[in-house]
Structure 1
Amino acid sequence: MPENPHATFTVESAVELAVVERSGFVESRHIGAAVVLAADGTVVTQLGDITTPIYARSALKPLQALAAMQAGVPLRGAQVALACASHTGSLDHMDVVEGMLKAAGVKEEQLQCPAAWPQDENARHWLIRSEQGRSKLAFNCSGKHAAFLWACTENGWDTHSYLEPNHPMQQRVRSVIEEYSGERIAHLGIDGCGAPVAAISLTGLARAYSRLAKAPGDKNSNARAATIATSMLDYPWAVQGKGEPNTVVMDELEIIAKIGAEGVLALATSTGVSVAIKVLDGNQRATTLVGLTLLAASGAVDIPGVSSVLEKVVEPVLGGGRPVGKIRLGHAVSALLD
């Protein structure tokens, strides 16, 4: 455990997950921790500290969406995926969120996430040309916030304080996180969008994703959890964006994939094999490479399919506009393929 109880694991408890090689020289190393769980919840692979809490950040969004649905929000189709999303703010993303707000009977101004320029280039140019400027709809968490507001209008809850930890919506979120992760929340903070964010272990995060991913095939599971798992795979564009890593993984491999800020990634197959990763320096660029490799090493997915996806989503290392290196696996991960 770290010396400070309100801190994640330390460098001494981490392993080298990936390195960045340029012109034959390793110039950067990404250290962190990762866990692979079997469908029954047993640990298949442990790399580094998998029990000390991390802020799971946006990897919690499917659980937050589940809490909103359990509070009576009638999300359907792409709306479900948008409630789980860290989206790029495309016009399609913003249209779905706007529809959620209309159904809830609330306005964009009531969203308490910040206004932002979209990551999506076409949407950004449209906002500039139309002189609308930054938009709350374009913020990557707007779907989650719209679902929270919708829950308020469905239940007669206060819409001004929906991000407060003692608000009925956030109390339900904490309950769902603890139920699906199988552990108590270790610490509660404030996420980048202003919502409460829970600290749980990587093992707890992987356990939660395993339960979500298995839900569609389990007649005894929560029907709303099954809807979330199915919708994320049916509308992968809504969860992140066309060409983005999470979307490509879900579209081509049918594996639930969800990033979280500061180097967090959770993956889960429909059989319930799951992975949770935290890169200690907060960088996201190696997480999909490491996560899919861990699934392949466990036998949960086939290596050719993984290789095809990784060619599309792993950032190239360029020099003068041409490849001069690559992001490659650290020894702790590559050794699992031998």
Structure 2
Amino acid sequence: MVEAMSTDAAPAPHTATAAESAELAVVTRAGLAESRHVGSAVLVGPEGEVLKRLGAPESIMFPRSSLKPLQALASLRAGALVSPEAVALACGSHVGSQRHQDVAASVLAKERLDESHLKCPVAYPARSADLEAHIRADKIETALAYNCSGKHAVFLAATRTQGSRLATYTDPDHPLQLMVNEVYAEYCGEAPTTLGVDGCGAPAAAMSLTGLARGIGRLSSALTQRDAEVHAFTVAQAMLDYPWAVRGVGEPDTVVMEQLGLITKSGAEGVLVVAAPDGTTAAVKTLDGSSRPNHLVALSLLAAAGKVDLDDLERTLKILVNPITGGADKRPAGGLRLSESVTAQL
């Protein structure tokens, strides 16, 4: 949950309403629409120009963990010296496997720190096999298994280099967090309109969905632009080189990066941003926070722009979109399809 830090009496910034939102995808059963996903989506080009829009992508929202690549960039800019694998973990919302935990722990150990310095909550591994191994080893909940531990570990490495206070690295007025906001303004073209508290304890910036798309698109374009910031290239390349660290083997964001070579990052409450190497980027936000339609919508928009091969799209969606089935023999019963609002844009 995001709780507002601001006590300003001014009216709250405008967020999208149901009336402003567009239908993005439909779940069908026996030919009838069983559920309808509504929200906003935007496709921006390499220069940040809006190519397609649905709903109200100019309204503000909390991108949540979709901003982690830009937070990682800020940490590198602040002087964090970490491995590419650790950079990918800093961009990630990982599943807490032992492999993920080990990378986070190695970042801390290099700085002569340990998990007690992390300000994120403790957690158990998210997947059952990892959880069983964790419990069999007589381990308890640990901050290293929390999905944001990589970001926090690299925050600490940057803070150590800055020479600023370790104990307050998540405070919104900490030098590192001020640098994060500078990166948002520079890359997204927007300063955060509101700062909340994210689930991990770090500041959660609010901005438009279009701003998010522009920011991650500019970062991704560092893969092909000779004059791009070196830290942006480092972040984008690390995500593609170590996609397992960003989420986990078999998880949707990881699958998209492995199969299609697109920078991909989900955020809580139904946010997704997917960027091609030239900076063309799709971003999606569902109104009710569901993530079910997001990869289908974002990848379809990118395919319409010629950034995803149609055969590759079909193959990848077969992995990502779970069929609607019934019975022990898993008979086909329905499916998830794009709404007419989206197909009209393709």
- Which TM-score bucket, shorter chain as reference? over 0.9
Secondary structure of the structure 1 residue equivalent to 2:248: coil
Offset of 1:331 from its aligned partner?
Answer: 1.0
Offset of 1:327 from its aligned partner?
Answer: 1.3
* Residues 1:49 and 2:67 are matched in the alignment: no
Q: Which shows bigger deviation, 119-128 or 7-16?
A: 119-128
Summarize deviations over 1:89-129 as a string: whole Å, max 9, x none: 11111111111111121111111111111113332112211
Counterpart of 1:69?
Answer: 76
The correspondence of residues 147-186 of structure 1 with structure 2, limited to 5 A, is 147-186=154-193
Summarize deviations over 1:222-249 as a string: whole Å, max 9, x none: 1011010111001111111101111110
Counterpart of 2:32?
Answer: 25
* Residues 1:261 and 2:260 are matched in the alignment: no
* Residues 1:209 and 2:216 are matched in the alignment: yes
Cα pair 1:285 1:315 within 8 Å, conserved: no
What TM-score do the two structures reach when normalised by structure 1? Answer: 0.96
Summarize deviations over 1:278-310 as a string: whole Å, max 9, x none: 011100111001100011112221111111101
Summarize deviations over 1:33-61 as a string: whole Å, max 9, x none: 01101112211101111111110100010
Offset of 1:316 from its aligned partner?
Answer: 2.5
Secondary structure of the structure 2 residue equivalent to 1:13: coil
In structure 1, C-alpha distance between the alignment counterparts of 2:273 and 2:295, rounded to whole Å: 9
The correspondence of residues 1-338 of structure 1 with structure 2, limited to 5 A, is 5-321=12-328, 322=330, 323-337=332-346
Offset of 1:130 from its aligned partner?
Answer: 1.6
Secondary structure of the structure 1 residue equivalent to 2:264: strand
Offset of 1:27 from its aligned partner?
Answer: 1.4
In structure 2, C-alpha distance between the alignment counterparts of 1:107 and 1:305, rounded to whole Å: 42
In structure 2, C-alpha distance between the alignment counterparts of 1:103 and 1:319, rounded to whole Å: 51
In structure 2, C-alpha distance between the alignment counterparts of 1:250 and 1:144, rounded to whole Å: 19
Cα pair 1:255 1:267 within 8 Å, conserved: yes
Cα pair 1:216 1:229 within 8 Å, conserved: yes
Offset of 1:19 from its aligned partner?
Answer: 1.2
Summarize deviations over 1:122-167 as a string: whole Å, max 9, x none: 3211221122121111111000000111112222211111111011
Cα pair 1:81 1:228 within 8 Å, conserved: yes
Cα pair 2:253 2:266 within 8 Å, conserved: yes
| Amino acid corresponding to residue 79 of structure 1 in structure 2 | A
Summarize deviations over 1:153-205 as a string: whole Å, max 9, x none: 22221111111101111111111111100112111101111110111111111
Aligned residues: 335
| Amino acid corresponding to residue 11 of structure 1 in structure 2 | A
Summarize deviations over 1:240-281 as a string: whole Å, max 9, x none: 110111111001100000000000000110111101110111
Secondary structure of the structure 1 residue equivalent to 2:212: helix
Offset of 1:220 from its aligned partner?
Answer: 1.3
Q: Which shows bigger deviation, 319-328 or 256-265?
A: 319-328
Root mean square deviation, CA, Å: 1.4
Cα pair 1:127 1:134 within 8 Å, conserved: no
| Amino acid corresponding to residue 315 of structure 1 in structure 2 | N
In structure 2, C-alpha distance between the alignment counterparts of 1:319 and 1:158, rounded to whole Å: 56
| Amino acid corresponding to residue 276 of structure 1 in structure 2 | A
Cα pair 2:44 2:50 within 8 Å, conserved: yes
Secondary structure of the structure 2 residue equivalent to 1:336: coil
What TM-score do the two structures reach when normalised by structure 2? Answer: 0.94
